[in-house]
């Protein structure tokens, strides 16, 4: 069973891809590691870990690096309901089937 120190293979793959994408974004911007690390208020060695997809680096540091690259908006969309088809389906299934309007309180028709 995976532990916090040894996450599942799917998590490791996703972070390796994110790290590679961050590295590519940094290179496309022609920014040296030292500059991005400084802008993210982290060290160059931590940035190297991020670009390698290290699972021990906190999500806050990943977010700081994304902000330094101008890519933070993408992170806020990760779990957005607009991108969560399973969550949307579950929420729709939970909606009431029939809706009844309450009659206003007042004199009864029976008189």
Q: Can you give the pLDDT of all 111 residues of the chain as single tens digits?
A: 556 578 999 999 999 999 999 999 999 999 999 999 999 999 999 999 999 999 999 999 999 999 999 999 988 888 888 888 888 888 877 777 777 788 877 666 665
Note whether residue 44 is domain-resident.
yes
Distance CA 107, CA 86 (A): 47
pLDDT at res. 94: 73
Residue 86 within a domain: no
Tell me if 30 sits within 8 A of 53, measured CB to CB. no
Report how many domains make up the chain: 1
pLDDT reported for residue 20: 98
pLDDT at 46: 98
**Closest to 50 (Cα-Cα) out of 64, 70, 38:** 64
Q: Give Cα 87 distance to the centre of its chain.
A: 15
Q: By C-alpha distance, which of 57, 14, 10, 12 is closest to 65?
A: 57
Rounded distance between C-alpha atoms, residue 29 and residue 36, angstroms: 10
pLDDT at 33 (0 to 100): 98
Please indicate, yes or no, if residue 24 is contained in any of the structural domains. yes
Whether 66 maps to a domain, the answer reads yes
Report the predicted TM-score, pTM, of the whole model to 2 decimal places. Answer: 0.75
Residue 101 domain-assigned (yes or no): no
Domain CATH code at residue 57: 1.10.260.40
In a domain, 13, yes or no: yes
- Whole domain around residue 20: which residue ranges? 9-77
Predicted pLDDT at 53: 96
């Amino acid at each position: 069973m995976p532990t916090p120190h040894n996450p599942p293979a799917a998590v490791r793959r996703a972070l390796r891809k994110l790290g590679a994408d961050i590295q590519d974004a940094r290179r496309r911007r022609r920014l040296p590691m030292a500059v991005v690390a400084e802008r993210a208020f982290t060290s160059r060695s931590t940035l190297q870990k991020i670009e390698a997809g290290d699972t021990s680096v906190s999500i806050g540091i990943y977010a700081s690096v994304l902000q330094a690259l101008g890519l933070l908006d993408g992170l806020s969309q990760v779990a957005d309901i607009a991108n969560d088809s399973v969550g949307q389906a579950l929420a729709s299934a939970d909606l009431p089937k029939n809706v009844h309007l309450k009659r206003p309180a007042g004199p009864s028709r029976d008189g």
